[in-house]
């Protein structure tokens, strides 16, 4: 156990286990591991190394791809938002990033590049999400333009994104897959549809490539399940320690606004973590934390740097003891639900002042 608190301890073996779960769910597909937003808050450097067995990596922006390359990684890197100007395009070429093309002016940028340039391209099709991509009626024109460009490695690859894959009974995913197939029926490039929810719930979306994100970190993409329910292992263990323990008498209040009142004499532990560390500030009293293997409730409001915990009339902890904010026994999905947020938001929201530390050094060295 590290002496640094609070800390987000990243379980390397859990990341590797979750990648194996992806392979088991989609055995005939290559895996494009999504590492955008600092690897969903888990620390890019740790996750790139831990997921050395992934076939490719996906990021949102060119700058994220540059950071990965700067760490010596030689695997395929796909930039999901593509480029927005000639400067980003030059960086993408220099650092050998594959580009998602989702609008016409990105094709214009490619065409302006020297004919000796060489880019692997993924054409993004909008099959119903209406966020990024070419609608079916415009896809053929975009494909033809890309086919004629010497700057583009042939054949062009194609992808789309499922809007409602986390809703198993929603028909939209079937409709999107059908729309994608209509455009891609005669294409020879590599194909990709499935995100985490897609590859788990919609087998028809597993194509040449799957693009898992949240499940790699041991978190369920479904609102009614945790990662553990799906056989995944939580990769982030967000922990801190008790910095004070005091007896509070029945009728006394705790915290800002005096929103919590002791119903009996009880011991209150103060732990060094708060919304300044990314612990959701709107969590209610009663939210569980882990103290010495027991779930104990928050008492009062979350402060910037501290929380108060009802340790009970016979205290389960003392100063220096570890407190689990989420991790083993305290699923992040539960915390997110109590905060009225997505699990994605919660792990991405852990602040930069919280160090990410590898909990187990079992990662391989290939990158």
Residues with catalytic roles: 36, 256
Decide: 57 and 30 in contact? Cβ < 8 Å: no
Decide: 48 and 69 in contact? Cβ < 8 Å: no
Decide: 159 and 192 in contact? Cβ < 8 Å: yes
Encode 154-167: b = buried (16+ Cβ within 10 Å), e = exposed. eebbbbbbbbbbbe
Decide: 323 and 289 in contact? Cβ < 8 Å: yes
Give the integer Cα–Cα distance in Å for 26 and 109. Answer: 35
Q: List the structure tokens of 52.
A: 């050395």
Angstrom CA distances, 47 to 97, 263, 268, stand at: 18, 45, 37
Give the integer Cα–Cα distance in Å for 239 and 161. Answer: 34
Decide: 50 and 363 in contact? Cβ < 8 Å: yes
Decide: 61 and 89 in contact? Cβ < 8 Å: no
Give the integer Cα–Cα distance in Å for 272 and 240. Answer: 6
């Amino acid at each position: 156990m590290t002496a640094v608190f609070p800390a987000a301890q990243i379980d390397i073996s859990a990341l590797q286990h979750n990648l194996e779960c992806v392979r088991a769910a989609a055995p005939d597909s290559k895996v494009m591991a999504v590492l955008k937003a600092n690897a969903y808050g888990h620390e890019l450097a740790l996750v790139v190394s831990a997921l050395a067995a992934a076939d490719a990596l996906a990021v949102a922006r060119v700058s994220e791809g540059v950071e990965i390359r700067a760490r010596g990684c030689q695997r395929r890197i796909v930039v999901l938002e593509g480029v927005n100007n000639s400067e980003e395009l030059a960086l993408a070429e220099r650092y050998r990033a594959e580009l998602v093309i989702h609008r016409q002016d990105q094709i214009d940028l490619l065409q302006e590049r020297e004919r000796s340039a060489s880019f692997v391209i993924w054409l993004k099709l909008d099959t119903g999400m209406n966020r990024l991509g070419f609608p079916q009626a415009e896809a053929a024109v975009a494909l033809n333009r890309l086919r004629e460009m010497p700057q583009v490695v042939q054949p062009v690859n194609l992808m789309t994104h499922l809007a409602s894959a986390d809703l198993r009974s929603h028909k939209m995913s079937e409709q999107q897959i059908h729309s994608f197939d209509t455009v891609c029926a005669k294409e020879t490039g590599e194909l990709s549809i499935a995100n985490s929810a897609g590859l788990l719930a919609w087998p028809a979306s597993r194509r040449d490539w799957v693009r898992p994100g949240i499940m790699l970190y041991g978190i369920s993409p479904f609102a009614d399940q945790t990662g553990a329910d799906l056989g995944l292992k939580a990769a982030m263990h967000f922990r801190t320690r008790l910095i004070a323990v005091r007896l509070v008498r029945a009728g006394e209040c705790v915290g800002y606004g005096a929103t919590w009142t002791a119903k009996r004499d009880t011991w209150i532990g103060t732990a060094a973590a708060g919304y300044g560390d990314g612990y959701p500030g709107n969590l209610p009293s009663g939210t569980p934390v882990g103290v010495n293997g027991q779930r104990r409730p928050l008492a009062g409001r979350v402060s910037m740097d501290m929380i108060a915990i009802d340790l009970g009339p016979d205290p389960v902890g003392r100063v220096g003891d570890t407190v689990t904010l989420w991790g083993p026994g305290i699923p992040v999905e539960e915390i997110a639900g109590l905060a009225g947020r997505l699990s994605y938001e919660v792990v991405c929201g852990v602040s930069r002042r919280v160090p990410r530390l590898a909990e187990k050094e079992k990662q391989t060295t290939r990158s």
